[in-house]
Amino acid sequence: MKAGEVNLLFRDFGMISFVYFALALAVTPIITLTDKNNLAPYRRTFGVLAFLFTTIHMGIYFYMEYMYQKTFFVLAHFKELDIISGVIAFVIMAALGITSNNFSVRILKGTWKKIQILAYPLFLLVTLHIAFAWRFNVFYMFVVSSVILLRTTAYLSEKNIETKKSSGKTTRYRCVPCGWIYDEKYGDPDGGIPPWTRFEDIPDDWVCPVCGVGKNDFVPYEEQYEQENTPAIAIVATLLNSTTLELTLETKESFDVIPGQFARIALKDRDGVFYRSYSVVESNGKKLTFCIKLSPGRGGNVLKHLKIGDTLAVENIYGSFVLQNTPHPKVFIATGTGLAPLINMMRQIPDKDKTLLFWVQDSASLFYTELLKKIPQLESHIFLSREEIPGFRHGRIDVTTFSFPKDSEFYMCGNPAMVEKTVSDLKAQGFTKIYHEIF
């Protein structure tokens, strides 16, 4: 291929990338102006396509550098604004492209939203890159002007609606696990939800932008109303291994707990009161038992120093991850402390056959092995990925190596990567009754 043809191809891929990026930025204002929430998935699709074509665009550039300069990047390029702005823009777009998936939302939590905000300075940087390269023709002027006009119109429309509705009552919902507040006045534009979208009208596949849980883990919230916490005293605090704590609280009042649900607990340190959510392993009257991973952070630091007799508080019991009342065979899948809600579920059906697949890294990370032996009619398969020990399976959980009845129900809790892969594998095998929660 001749140099001129390669250069033309280089520019074409750059232009296609820019168009897809502009389309990605146009989706949110279009949703705001038309109330078409079903357009939200296209924003991510356009963004990923922009990243793909930008990668090819950069690949051709480095190919030309090597073919004609015999190098990939020379120091002199640091003086060329079009090259430097393009490289910086590619690095930012790579960060956006790599994190444009639900797995990244769950792992990065609040950081994910901060990364996505980089799309706005990226647009300016790409525009400057094109201008510095002396390729800012009528077409590019039209695309840039259209995006700016569209987003400005949407912004003014939001302000106009907000002014009209400012005197009215707005409904707010609180995410129980992380405390994030969904306010219909603001919506979640980065999640494709325009302002003044009622909570019940949000698509079912929408997730909390901070912790990644679904709509079912939100509860109505009013600013003038604060849940009155129930005092609780720590009566048992036992280390099951070096990073796993079994904690039993005796509360002032009884709670109705459905197996699989979690409690939101108020903890306190020198910075004040904060909340953490922990699954209930067992409930008995005014006693609640939890199995908690002592992770680095505020919650872990408080619980590491917890003593018998210390006072905490329970806000309430939440969660829609519960056992279905059906005759279907039950299969439970867990990693680490994701076992906690499943134990409560398995205890609920002592007279039914059930299967457990449970993974930890090594024998030092094991817990509740004796308890599992006492659960009636349970077929247990425990996986260790870093050790080979008789009586345990070596490796990670792989549901494709098991044969389950076609009407089986699956309940899984734990590592996001495990849950995502296992759900995909089960759906590929035709299973549809799948319930899961991510830790």
> Which domain CATH number covers 209?
2.20.28.10
E-assigned strands of 188-310? Answer: 218-221, 230-241, 244-251, 262-269, 272-284, 287-293
177 in the same domain as 87: no
**Would 325 be classed as within a structural domain?**
no
Angle at 429 between CA 427 and CA 432, to 5 degrees: 40
65 in the same domain as 84: yes
Alpha carbon 234 to chain centroid distance? 31
Q: How far apart are CA 390 and CA 113, in angstroms?
A: 45
* pLDDT reported for residue 223: 47
Q: Which residues contact 367 (CB under 8 A, 6 or more apart)?
A: 240, 241, 244, 291, 339
Per residue in 8-51, pLDDT (tens digit) is 677 788 889 999 999 999 988 887 777 665 676 788 889 899 99
The CB density around residue 49, as the number of other CB atoms within 10 Å, is 18
Mean pLDDT (10-residue bins), the chain, 439 residues: 64 88 88 69 86 89 69 56 84 88 71 83 89 77 90 76 48 78 81 82 82 80 61 94 96 92 91 90 94 91 94 90 92 96 95 96 96 96 95 95 96 92 95 87
Query: Mean pLDDT over all residues of the chain?
Result: 85
369 in the same domain as 290: no
**326 CB burial (10 A radius; 0-12, 13-18, 19+):** exposed
153 in the same domain as 114: yes
- CA dist list (Å): 35 to 20, 146, 208, 235, 379: 22, 19, 20, 52, 50
Q: How far apart are CA 173 and CA 180, in angstroms?
A: 8
Structure tokens at 149: 């006009």
* pLDDT reported for residue 225: 40
The pTM assigned to this predicted structure is: 0.59
E-assigned strands of 184-243? Answer: 218-221, 230-241
86 in the same domain as 121: yes
433 lies in which domain range?
330-438
**Would 415 be classed as within a structural domain?**
yes
Q: How far apart are CA 336 and CA 349, in angstroms?
A: 22
47 in the same domain as 87: yes
